[in-house]
A and B are shown apart, each in its own frame.
Chain A
Amino acid sequence: MPEPILELAGLTKVFPGGFKALDNVDLTINRGEIFALLGPNGAGKTTLIGAVCGLVRPTSGTIRAFGQDTKSDWRQARARIGLVPQELSTDMFEPVLHAVEYSRGLFGLAPDPARIEEILRSLSLWDKRNNRIMELSGGMKRRVLIAKAMAHEPDLLFLDEPTAGVDVELRKDMWHQIDAMRARGVTVILTTHYIEEAEEMADRVGIIRGGKILMVDQKDAMMARLGRTEAHVMLAQPLDTLPPAIAAFPVELKEGGRSLCYRGGDGTGKGREEVAELTKALIASGIDYVGIDVRESSLEDIFVSLLGDEEEQAA
């Protein structure tokens, strides 16, 4: 039975000037999961994080973290929440160790050199502990922010675009770090517009746009429900019409009859099975082919399709 760790109800934020950054958001995050909040720039991801962490004052709605109202019991709630911001915001003149110790103390915890060492070692920062942050590479600086956020041992950690602007290698390294946090029992909410990241990391995915949550679901369930298989069969001889045995499949002729395009399935593998059946039917019908290209739709395809549908409805 999932245990809610964060509950947002009717969360709305209207900035002075009338811009509605969050529009009646309802969202529940469960303990121990990695939740990816996907959305284009300006969708409201950072505002949502800010509202939970105390950086943004909600216009209306409630936020409950660990069962406590973050407005009335803000001290207890904030003590258990960590935030890694999108920007590399830290005192660049400060040595790494100093910065991380400060973060722990700021959250009211007693000094614990062993714990700080453990965090720094886990992020490969121990050797750099006496370096000023400005001397580190961009990736290292981002790790320092993670170390600072982990210094007070939060139960709930927000990672706002943790891999924005970092190279592929470092991004994968960051994913390992997030996995390690989950292993330690930390609930992670990450915002990203790298769909690949959500696909790789998340247990559940929420899609936000224009301050509204469009969809929240288990990543696998979302892929199964909205996923599709697409296959292109390159025919040896062009076809004018499809024989009835082939027309029974969800296919259409393309490129002047030189290729056959299949779109079907549901993301559970059913599509691939159907493509196999289609190839058998082609052979049985005496239709020769010279190549097949099969691909499953990615979370990105689903994301783009969802946002496209939303735009069409809005129009």
Chain B
Amino acid sequence: MSFNARSAWSIYRRELWRFLRTAFQSVLAPVLTTSLYILVFGSAIGNRMPDVGSVDYGAFIIPGLLMLTLLGETTSNSSFGIYMPRFTGTIYELLSAPVGVAETLAGFVGAAATKSLILAAIILLTARIFVPYDIAHPVFAFVFILLVAASFSLFGFILGIWADSFEKLGIIPMLILTPLTFLGGTFYSIADLPAPWNTVALANPIVYLVSGLRWTFYGSADVSIWVSLALTLAFLVACTAIIAYIFRTGWRLRN
């Protein structure tokens, strides 16, 4: 299978340019929202909350809030990246170019993942202004954030191809991802939930993402980091396979 690096780079660069063009919406708005969460729940209310395990409550919620922003923004960025060309008709250029699934994903998903990493870095730096925290396993944290950003970029890409209206584009991030993240242990430890909810909560896939990221920060989590990593990788592979199928069949792309 050949890979045209110039094509992939062109898509990547253009998507990043689009990101910078809409910096207020893409960067400032999510950073501001997350900072407010950290300020209110972490700094103001957090001072009155008991520690979770050995972690200060204000610091405890940072990985969950980061995940909340990361999932929403990554999915939205990526889905908009492919939906808008479909909506405006400019996708003709991509489809008529000598560009395959590999270049397309490297460009669109790579750019969406890059945006998410930039966003994550800004949020983490901003969080330090309000709440002191340390990252116990920074390399793991980087790899885990990268994996989550890549897999949800792929997921967003699928969403952008599936959606045939702006309403549908917003349904998954707003009505599924956000509630699941809130219920996935962002503000509490699953272990603190009463039975049977502590078991039921494990059916929520976001629990494994929040828990995994929290482990990279504080070395302890509700579920094993290896389970979190394995599930994230499985999600990434599943999304990649679905996109490969979409390109092979032309579903919603080619008439």
A106 lies within 8 A of B93 (CB): yes
Stretch at the interface among A30-38, A70-78, A123-131, A180-188: A70-78
Given the known inter-chain contacts A74-B98, A106-B93, A148-B93, please indicate yes or no for A57 contacting B9, CB distance below 8 A: no
Question: A173 to chain B: closest CB distance in Å?
Answer: 24
**A88-128 interface code vs B (CB 8 A; 1 in, 0 out):** 01110100001000111111111000000000000000000
Instruction: Point out the residue from B89, B94, B99 that lies within 8 Å of A85, measured CB to CB.
Output: B89
Instruction: Point out the residue from B2, B90, B98, B250 that lies within 8 Å of A78, measured CB to CB.
Output: B98
A106 lies within 8 A of B21 (CB): no
**Hey, which chain A residues are within 8 Å of B98, CB to CB?**
74-76, 78-79, 107-108
A106 lies within 8 A of B254 (CB): no
Interface residue? B170 (CB, 8 A): no
Stretch at the interface among A2-10, A48-56, A256-264: A48-56
**Hey, which chain B residues are within 8 Å of A105, CB to CB?**
6-7, 9-10, 13
Given the known inter-chain contacts A15-B255, A108-B6, A108-B7, please indicate yes or no for A55 contacting B96, CB distance below 8 A: yes
Interface residue? B25 (CB, 8 A): no
Interface residue? B118 (CB, 8 A): no
B92 lies within 8 A of A106 (CB): no
**Hey, which chain A residues are within 8 Å of B14, CB to CB?**
102
User: In the complex, what distance in Å separates the CA atom of A54 from the CA atom of B17?
Assistant: 27
Q: For residues 1 through 27 of chain B, which have their beta carbon under 8 Å from a beta carbon of chain A?
A: 2, 4, 6-7, 9-11, 13-14, 17, 21
Interface residue? A81 (CB, 8 A): yes
User: In the complex, what distance in Å separates the CA atom of A245 from the CA atom of B247?
Assistant: 73
User: In the complex, what distance in Å separates the CA atom of A81 from the CA atom of B90?
Assistant: 17
B92 lies within 8 A of A83 (CB): yes
How many pairs, one residue from A and one from B, have CB atoms within 8 Å of each other in the complex? Answer: 75
Question: A99 to chain B: closest CB distance in Å?
Answer: 9
| Chain B: CB-nearest residue to A47 | B255
Instruction: Point out the residue from B89, B93, B99, B254 that lies within 8 Å of A56, measured CB to CB.
Output: B254
A54 lies within 8 A of B7 (CB): no
**Hey, which chain A residues are within 8 Å of B11, CB to CB?**
106
B255 lies within 8 A of A56 (CB): yes
Question: A195 to chain B: closest CB distance in Å?
Answer: 26
Interface residue? A217 (CB, 8 A): no
Given the known inter-chain contacts A75-B100, A91-B88, A102-B14, please indicate yes or no for A57 contacting B255, CB distance below 8 A: yes
Question: B80 to chain A: closest CB distance in Å?
Answer: 13
Question: B189 to chain A: closest CB distance in Å?
Answer: 45
User: In the complex, what distance in Å separates the CA atom of A102 from the CA atom of B16?
Assistant: 13
Question: B217 to chain A: closest CB distance in Å?
Answer: 38
Interface residue? A87 (CB, 8 A): yes
**Hey, which chain B residues are within 8 Å of A110, CB to CB?**
6
Given the known inter-chain contacts A54-B254, A87-B89, please indicate yes or no for A107 contacting B7, CB distance below 8 A: yes
Instruction: Point out the residue from A74, A90, A98, A109 that lies within 8 Å of B6, measured CB to CB.
Output: A109
**Hey, which chain B residues are within 8 Å of A98, CB to CB?**
17
User: In the complex, what distance in Å separates the CA atom of A56 from the CA atom of B88?
Assistant: 17
User: In the complex, what distance in Å separates the CA atom of A109 from the CA atom of B7?
Assistant: 8
| Chain A: CB-nearest residue to B254 | A57
Question: B228 to chain A: closest CB distance in Å?
Answer: 37
**Hey, which chain A residues are within 8 Å of B125, CB to CB?**
none
| Chain A: CB-nearest residue to B94 | A106
User: In the complex, what distance in Å separates the CA atom of A47 from the CA atom of B4?
Assistant: 28
Question: B141 to chain A: closest CB distance in Å?
Answer: 34
User: In the complex, what distance in Å separates the CA atom of A107 from the CA atom of B96?
Assistant: 9
User: In the complex, what distance in Å separates the CA atom of A76 from the CA atom of B4?
Assistant: 12
| Chain A: CB-nearest residue to B12 | A105
Given the known inter-chain contacts A102-B10, A105-B10, A106-B99, please indicate yes or no for A55 contacting B2, CB distance below 8 A: no
A residues apposed to B, CB below 8 Å: 15, 47, 50, 53-57, 74-76, 78-79, 81, 83, 85, 87, 89-91, 93, 98, 102-110, 148
B residues apposed to A, CB below 8 Å: 2, 4, 6-7, 9-11, 13-14, 17, 21, 88-90, 92-100, 250, 254-255
16 A-B pairs with CB atoms under 8 Å apart are: A50-B255, A53-B96, A55-B96, A57-B255, A74-B98, A76-B98, A78-B98, A85-B92, A89-B89, A89-B92, A102-B10, A105-B6, A106-B7, A106-B94, A108-B99, A110-B6
